[in-house]
Structure 1
């Protein structure tokens, strides 16, 4: 189920691509259950409610919606940004997890070395972005049209797709992503998140960047 973002309206909650206890002890079963079944479900329900009154929007995928916010009716664009972003960003966040102490390889590793110097330097940059995002939001590894990679931050449920970038992976720094396991220790959560990245999946996104 990883990488399935093209489902049609009305959107349905897609199952996790692994068991709820698959990321223990770094991310607990209770956290994943609440995060996926409650928080993500709310974004799915809200997105369907927003699109119910916009027939022209209903034929678009999540990616198309987020890439064309300026083309949507003005009364819908902010709500679509928040809720389509909430669905897309969460799907990518969950999909990028499931590995165990992996490292990037192949063309993605080469692109990261060019951009950051080394994998460890990327981790430093990524953690700085995650800790530096004030309040709720995400830190990202993104690629441009030429394949150059960089680290980015977005607040709330904003998504790099809306700025013309291709998201490769993201770490969710909304408190509901980590508070049950780490309370206010965001840095400890990010360190644990690094250990569970599925770099084979992230590399496949880099190869298929659109």
Structure 2
């Protein structure tokens, strides 16, 4: 067969194959590879719990604006900054807030300050209740206060003195010491009596925030008035339960 004839025959066979299929040959398509899944961020180690009452529930002792800013801004900032500080140090992963607090003196300042701020504020909110819902003091705690301070009025006066004497920002506490006795103490900034850096260590059963943001919108510079009024919203039922638990743990 001559070359022109062979070429003509090949062309005819190719056209016949296309015609038989009814269309041009289909080239198989490869599906695109799926995009890699976005990494799921790790859950925050610590979160801000809602208040156990409304922002307006402690009126008129603590005003709504103060409670709103104090909880949703100040306390939230301590939680956010604590999460950042803990995430930056793998050695702290999985530690509870209590574990961080008790070894505060060995930790970076950002962890100490923000862990203290988170623990202290959580404790503070739980120390209070609306005036109509505060519980009664237990006979055991009432007797211990009388034995240690002479009377409830004398105790409140000593607590107020410690709170007004705290220079700058800090906290005033009623604690149960290692000997089981009650004591009033005060700490600077966001320290507390559980910390290894505390001058007087013990188990807190009452804690009051004497940072200005805790009272300034209503009381301005009158910290003493804030400390006086505060007893109206102290939940003595909660405090009494803490006192019983502290003694049981000794």
TM over 0.5: yes
Runs of 4+ in 1 over 3 A off after TM superposition: none
Q: Is the 8 Å Cα contact of residues 9 and 48 (structure 1) preserved in structure 2? A: yes
By how many angstroms is 1:71 displaced?
4.7
**Which residue, out of 149, 154, 157, partners 1:124?**
157
Tell me the SS of whatever aligns to 1:161: coil
Runs (5+) with no aligned partner, structure 2: 1-42
- Partner in structure 2 of residue 97 of structure 1: 128
- Partner in structure 2 of residue 56 of structure 1: 91
Supply the distance in 2 between the matched residues of 1:110 and 1:176 (Cα, whole angstroms).
34
Q: Count residues in correspondence.
A: 199
Map 1:74-93 → 2, pairs under 5 A: 76=108, 78-93=109-124
Choose 1 or 2 for highest CA Rg. 2
Supply the distance in 2 between the matched residues of 1:46 and 1:158 (Cα, whole angstroms).
16
Higher relative contact order (CA 8 A, sep 6+): 1
Q: Is the 8 Å Cα contact of residues 47 and 83 (structure 1) preserved in structure 2? A: yes
Q: Deviations over 1:64-113 (max 9, x none)?
A: 111123454xxx2x222211000011111111111537663222222212
Supply the distance in 1 between the matched residues of 2:105 and 2:225 (Cα, whole angstroms).
38
Supply the distance in 1 between the matched residues of 2:67 and 2:188 (Cα, whole angstroms).
21
Q: TM-score with structure 1 length normalisation?
A: 0.89
Q: TM-score with structure 2 length normalisation?
A: 0.75
Runs (5+) with no aligned partner, structure 1: 1-7
Query: Pairwise CA RMSD of aligned residues?
Result: 1.7
- Partner in structure 1 of residue 18 of structure 2: none
The alpha-carbon distance between structure 1 residues 88 and 118, as it changes in their structure 2 partners (threshold 3 A), is same
